[in-house]
Amino acid sequence: MHARDPLAADPAAGAATVGATAGRAAAEAATSVEASTAHAATAGAASAATAPGHARPGLRPDDKTVLGPDEISRALTRVAHEILERTNGGTDVVLLGIPTRGVPLAQRLAARLTQVEGHLVPVGSLDITMYRDDLRLRPARALGHTAVPASGVDGKTVVLVDDVLYSGRTVRAALDSLSDIGRPRAVQLAVLVDRGHRELPIRADYVGKNLPTSQREIVRVLLTETDGQDAVVLGPGRDADAQDVAGSGAGLEAAR
């Protein structure tokens, strides 16, 4: 006699068993896909954090966070509205960011101006490397990128954008660099943070945050575009010369 197949004897039970098996297989497949996705996301984040141009200085144990992402966003929105109020709705305004972090800040401001007024605001970058007054005292520096909008700067209101205003020497170099590009009708300055201690008669027209500091402290600006996060932190510093060298790649404003 042939052994009877229990599934054949009871079709309903067979269907239930097959369905349960298929369900378990689907669940296992979904779990596998989910794990693979999570692993890929983790690997992608790690790769982005270590990729060139996306190095994250991160927060140090003795850093004090002065501005977080929301505060930075609100400060930039306020500055954008102030620019519109003082330039007749952004007419003939050109934004030029000073590398490194002045460039993404200028782009964020341009996006806010465009959103409010409904017309594109030209934005570019202005490298100051060869115009610094400390070239003889520092090792060779990598040249930044200057990108002037097609409309140029002649007869325009140029708003220079930087992350931190300190001694004013960076801005002086930017003015010299700008004079070699064209002749604006007016030049204004917008900074995210003004930390004081000016060494030259330079004042910002638009300030996101006035931050009283000691000259022994360092102000670091971290931006998502360059550092993977938005923050302004205040920490203990070193001598001004060391700060200036480190600041060229770590979001520091020193001896400027």
Q: For residue 95, how far is the Cα from the chain centroid?
A: 16
Domain residue spans of the chain: 64-250
Q: Encoding tokens for residue 196?
A: 């004081």
Q: Encoding tokens for residue 130?
A: 């060869």
CATH architecture classification, 64-250: 3-Layer(aba) Sandwich (3.40)
Q: What is the 3-state secondary structure (H, E, C) of 171-202?
A: HHHHHHHHHCCCCCCEEEEEEEEECCCCCCCC
- Name which of 116, 106, 201, 112 is nearest 147 in CA terms: 106
Backbone φ and ψ of 165, nearest 5° = -105, 125
Residue 151: HSE in the Cβ half-sphere, 13 Å Cα cutoff: 16
- pLDDT tens across the length of the chain (256 residues): 444 444 444 444 444 443 444 444 434 433 343 343 333 333 333 333 333 333 345 677 788 999 999 999 999 999 999 999 999 999 999 999 999 999 999 999 999 999 999 999 999 999 999 999 988 887 667 888 899 999 999 999 999 999 999 999 999 999 999 999 999 999 999 999 999 999 999 999 999 999 999 999 999 999 999 999 999 999 998 644 434 433 444 444 444 5
Backbone φ and ψ of 224, nearest 5° = -55, -40
98: amino acid identity, one letter: I
- Under 8 Å between Cβ of 104 and 97: yes
pTM of the model: 0.73
Helix pair 69-86, 102-117: axis angle to 10 deg: 60
Exposure b/e, 177-190, CB count within 10 A at least 16 = b: bbeebeebeebbbb
